[in-house]
Amino acid sequence: MTKEKRQITIFLIFSFVLLVIPFSLRESYLLNVMVFIGIHTMLAVALNLLMGYAGQISLGHAAFFGMGAYISGIFTTRFGLDPWLVIIMAALCAAAIAFAMGFPILKLKGHYLAMATLGFGIIIYIIFNETVNWTGGPSGLSGIPNLKIGELVFDNDFHNYYLVWIITLGVMLLSINLSQSRIGRALRAVHDSEVAARVMGINAWVLKVQIFTVSAFISAMAGSLYAHTMTFVAPASFGFNFSVELVTMVVVGGLGSIYGSFLGAAILTTLPEFLRVFEDFDIIIYGLMLIVITMFMPGGLISGLQLLSQKFFLKFKAKADKGA
């Protein structure tokens, strides 16, 4: 099997499993968790394109997620605009802000970039809180309509599951394609040696701004979906803690792996549901996870899984050879 065929097979199996889950998982609560995993996967993939591929950190990505959620919330509740239209508008708007901001901010490196994105995230968070007339302030914005296509209204977990996962799978597929193209190679080149990448004719600065823009676009889209599935948004979901949670998803799952982002999103979404300690100590636990993973498994859990499956495969092969 060629590498390409294997990848397509993996993606098809992955999609198939996800798309049949609702039929075996009639329990609404678990479906609801899966909807969140989908939204978080989209966000983790978006951040991974920036962090894992281009090697640029963002500690303010929750802001783009929030922009999508609020723009969708505000424009559908106050102006009665078509929700689908607003989703596109919100994503474009977040992308435009990322693009404009990216040029100065992505000149910065390392800690400075981390600080700048952190500051950006905090400013946007304050705006969500303070522009009470628009956002409803700390108490949030409610009454956001569910999405619908014709007669089909996405107003229950079963419907939302498909809404979110079809889009998430699409985002994953496009990101996998991108990561394996000349653009993906250019991103990884900038990550490994920016100076060599530039000598190879890659405009590292512009490329970083472009991927930052794409990342913001996807994040805002996730935010819009979040607003329409929850029908309620409040600033607390888009603060610094959530930005750190996103970084943790990407690192725990695996920098530079799209499936890793799914894994990271799944783990970080499920754990708090079952471990109540998360409620008070979330940021400490994220910190610990980040430290442990960076020290002992820099490729993230997905690299551990790959290693395991390789070992298993080799053993299996050895046995088969012996048998023959």
Partner 1 sequence: MLRAKNITKTFGGLTALDDVTLNVAAGSITGIIGPNGAGKTTLFNIITGIYTQTAGEVYLDDENISFFPPETLARMGLVRTFQNVEMFGQMTVLENVMVGLHTKSRSGFLSCAFKLPRQIREEKLIKEKSIRWLEFTDMTDLAGMRADSLPFGKSRLLEISRAMALEPRIILLDEPAAGLNSRETLQLAELIRRIRELGITVVLVEHDMDLVMDICETIFVLNLGKKLTQGTPREVQENPAVISAYLGVS
Q: Which residues bind partner 1 (CB under 8 A)?
A: 174-175, 177-178, 181-186, 188-189, 191-193, 195-204, 210, 214, 256
Q: Which is nearer to partner 1, 210 or 243 (CB)?
A: 210
What phi and psi, each to the nearest 5 degrees, are found at residue 142? -120, 175
Per residue in 180-197, is it b (16+ CB within 10 Å) or e — as a string?
Answer: eeebbebbbbbbeebeeb
Distance in Å, CB of 206 to partner 1, minimum: 9
- Pairing verdict, β 141-142 and 148-149: unpaired
Distance in Å, CB of 57 to partner 1, minimum: 17
Are the C-beta atoms of 66 and 121 separated by less than 8 Å? no
Longest dimension (CA), the chain: 75
Overall residue count recorded for the chain in this entry: 324
Distance in Å, CB of 203 to partner 1, minimum: 5
Distance in Å, CB of 205 to partner 1, minimum: 9
Q: Which is nearer to partner 1, 21 or 174 (CB)?
A: 174
Q: Which is nearer to partner 1, 199 or 324 (CB)?
A: 199
Distance in Å, CB of 314 to partner 1, minimum: 18
Residues 60, 66: Cα–Cα separation, whole Å: 10
DSSP symbol at 239:
S
Q: Which is nearer to partner 1, 131 or 177 (CB)?
A: 177
Q: Which is nearer to partner 1, 159 or 191 (CB)?
A: 191
